[in-house]
Amino acid sequence: MYFDLFTSDSKRYDQIMFKYIFSLLILMPLWGHSQEIIYEDTRHNLQEGPRLKVTSIVDGDTLFLEDNQQIRLVGIQAPKLPLGRPGFKKWPLADESRNLLTRLSQNQYVTLYYGGNRRDRYNRTLAHLYLDDGTWIQGELLKAGLARVYSFADNRAIVPQMLAAETHARQNNRGMWRLDHYKIRTTENAVQHLNNFELVEGTIYKVAKVKGTIYLNFAKDWKSDFTLTLKNKAIKMFQKAGIDPLELAGKKIRARGWLKYYNGPAITITHPEQIEILEP
Looking at residue 200, its amino acid is V
Distance CA(116)–CA(154), nearest Å, equals: 6
DSSP 229: E
Q: Name which of 153, 77, 73, 69 is nearest 116 in CA terms.
A: 153
Q: Is the per-residue pLDDT at 262 higher than 70?
A: yes
Distances (CA, A) of 199 to 29, 126, 145, 185, 267: 19, 23, 14, 6, 10
Structural domains of the chain, ranges and CATH numbers in brackets: 43-178 (2.40.50.90), 184-279 (2.40.50.140)
Burial of 71 (0-12, 13-18, 19+ CB in 10 A): buried
Model confidence at 14, in pLDDT bands (50, 70, 90)? low
Tell me the pLDDT of the chain averaged across its residues: 89
Please say if the pLDDT value at position 37 is more than 50.
yes
Angle at 257 between CA 251 and CA 261, to 5 degrees: 95
Residues 6 or more apart whose Cβ sits within 8 Å of residue 107: 53, 54, 55
Please, is 102 exposed, middle or buried when counting C-beta atoms within 10 Å of its C-beta (0-12, 13-18, 19+)?
middle
pLDDT per residue over 174-194, tens digit each? Answer: 999 999 999 999 999 999 999
pLDDT over 70 percentage in the chain: 86
Of the pLDDT bands very low, low, confident and very high (cuts 50, 70, 90), residue 40 is confident
Cα–Cα distance between 74 and 114 in angstroms, integer? 9
pLDDT winner (highest mean) among 9-13, 31-35, 79-83: 79-83
Q: How far is CA 209 from CA 76, 216, 247, 259, in A?
A: 31, 9, 11, 21
Q: Which of 34-38, 225-229, 252-256 has the lowest mean pLDDT?
A: 34-38
pLDDT at 129 over 90: yes
